[in-house]
Structure 1
Amino acid sequence: MTLLHDEDLASAFNHASRSYDTLVAFNPGYHRDLRRSARRLGLPEGGRGMRVLDLGCGTGASTAALAAALPAAEITAVDASAGMLKRAAAKPWNDSVTFVHTPAERLAEAGVEGPFDAVFAAYLIRNAANPDGVLATVRDVLAPHGRLAVHEYTLSGRATHRGVWTMVCGGIVLPVATALGDGQLYRHLWRSVVDFDTSDEFAARVSSAGFDHVRVLPLPGWQTGITHTIVARRALDAAAADR
């Protein structure tokens, strides 16, 4: 199958936004694991005085995870899908959370400018037409030594984990999504995981994009070997060191 990208993917998410939270509820540990990944940013004092970018916030699950882990941080949440963002923004938030409609690749055009102390990206980068371009954008908006946490379906490379992913999608997710009229999107989401980097390959991609201290951290439960948190730090380049 041909994967969806850019406007087609945003349109598919717009249509799916009405039932997205319902489908997410079928995934045990979904919100718990997002909170775990948010805590893995390791920001001190609940993020007091810090700016955090939630890249690809969807209906706000990742934003809620950040708000729980970093209650004192200023959070800017962005998404390319107007439908998903509308549902996120309609939920109750404190004044430190701001939502902006923009693709990850066009942050500056939407007025989203760094430096950010941390960037959190959940279930986003594998869906980008140009993952390396997104990582370059993330690096550009991070302060020197700013932290990155990517919460992503990145398979371990073992056939067992690939099989579990395909079984869960084929046996549970796709039938429900198809009944709701969103089969094309969820077929894309299944395939995008199978076709994307393994966790180690993605860690190498992050390192090549100008990050150091890159680590691949597992998540528990059925998602072991399927979903990982990849944490990293923006490398201090020579130009930054001279300032």
Structure 2
Amino acid sequence: MPLLRDAALATAFDHGADRYDRLVALNPGYHAQLRRSARRLAALDGGGARRLLDLGCGTGASTAALAAAFPGAEIVGVDASAGMLRRAGAKRRPSRVRFVHAPAEELDRAEVGGPFDAVFAAYLFRNLADPDAVLAAVRGALVPGGWLAVHDYALSGRRTDRLVWSAVCRGVIVPLGTATGDRGLYGHLRCSVAEFDTAPAFGARLRRAGFGQVRVLPLPGWQTGIAHTFLARRPAADGDR
């Protein structure tokens, strides 16, 4: 099944938005894992960040995790799917949270300006046609010394983890997506993980993008070796890596 990109992927998420929250709720630990990654980000500065970007915020689950981890911080959630943002906007949220409809590649055009103290990106980078360009934009949007946290499926590189991911997709993810009329979207999910960077390779990609202090942290439960939190810091000064 071919990967979906850009407008085709946004359209697929629009189509699946009304069912998305119900389907991900079937994933044991989905929301707990997002909260864990948000807390890992908050622990780096004691939760003192005042302005955060939630890039690829979807229906707002990651935004809720950030709001809990960073009490009082202004949070800007950005997503390319109008349908997913409609679901996010319908949920109760603090007044300090706002949502913007824009692709990750077009933050400047959407007037989503930095600087941000921290950026969070859940389930985003493997979906991008040019992840390196977006990493460069994120680095530029961060304050010097600011942190990026990426929460995503990224296989460890071990054959066992690839087999587990394949089995879960064949037995659960793709059949559920097919039953709900979203086979293309969930087929894309399977392929986007299998064909993107392994966890060590994405850590290396972050370093090539100019980030320092890169950490690759596994997530617990059945997703160990399949999902990770990546933490990376924009250097406080040029040459500080």
TM over 0.5: yes
Q: CA deviation at 1:17?
A: 0.2
Q: CA deviation at 1:79?
A: 0.2
Could you tell me how far apart the structure 1 residues matched to 2:47 and 2:192 are?
34
Q: CA deviation at 1:35?
A: 0.4
Q: CA deviation at 1:134?
A: 1.0
1:47-102 Cα offsets, whole Å, 9 max, x none, are 36x10000000001100110111122110000000000010011001111010000
1:194-219 Cα offsets, whole Å, 9 max, x none, are 00000000000001101000010010
Please name the residue that 1:81 is paired with.
81
Please name the residue that 1:22 is paired with.
22
1:109-164 Cα offsets, whole Å, 9 max, x none, are 11100000000000000100001011011001001011010001110001110111
Does residue 6 of structure 2 align to residue 6 of structure 1?
yes
Please name the residue that 1:68 is paired with.
68
Q: CA deviation at 1:45?
A: 5.1
Please name the residue that 2:216 is paired with.
216
Could you tell me how far apart the structure 2 residues matched to 1:89 and 1:44 are?
28
Give the 3 Å change call, closer, same or farther, for CA 216–57 of structure 1 in structure 2: same
Asked if the contact 1:151/1:229 (under 8 Å) is kept, the reply is yes
Could you tell me how far apart the structure 2 residues matched to 1:55 and 1:75 are?
10
Across the two proteins, how many residue pairs are aligned to each other?
Answer: 239
Letter in 1 for 2:128: A
Q: Residues 174-189 of structure 1 correspond to what in structure 2 (within 5 A)?
A: 174-189=174-189
Could you tell me how far apart the structure 1 residues matched to 2:47 and 2:205 are?
29
Q: CA deviation at 1:235?
A: 1.8
Segments of structure 2 that go 5 or more residues without pairing to the other structure are none
Please name the residue that 2:54 is paired with.
54
Please name the residue that 2:200 is paired with.
200
Letter in 2 for 1:47: G
Please name the residue that 1:151 is paired with.
151
Could you tell me how far apart the structure 2 residues matched to 1:238 and 1:175 are?
49
Identical-pair percentage: 64
SS in 2 for 1:34: helix
1:165-201 Cα offsets, whole Å, 9 max, x none, are 1111110111111011000110011000000000000
Segments of structure 1 that go 5 or more residues without pairing to the other structure are none
Letter in 1 for 2:196: F
Could you tell me how far apart the structure 2 residues matched to 1:60 and 1:136 are?
24
Q: Which moved more, 1:67-76 or 1:199-208?
A: 67-76
SS in 1 for 2:18: coil
Could you tell me how far apart the structure 2 residues matched to 1:63 and 1:76 are?
8
Asked if the contact 1:46/1:72 (under 8 Å) is kept, the reply is no
Could you tell me how far apart the structure 1 residues matched to 2:200 and 2:239 are?
29
Please name the residue that 1:140 is paired with.
140
Asked if the contact 1:21/1:59 (under 8 Å) is kept, the reply is yes
Asked if the contact 1:55/1:77 (under 8 Å) is kept, the reply is yes
TM-score normalised by length of structure 2 = 0.96
Q: Residues 65-144 of structure 1 correspond to what in structure 2 (within 5 A)?
A: 65-144=65-144
SS in 2 for 1:108: coil
Could you tell me how far apart the structure 1 residues matched to 2:3 and 2:36 are?
29
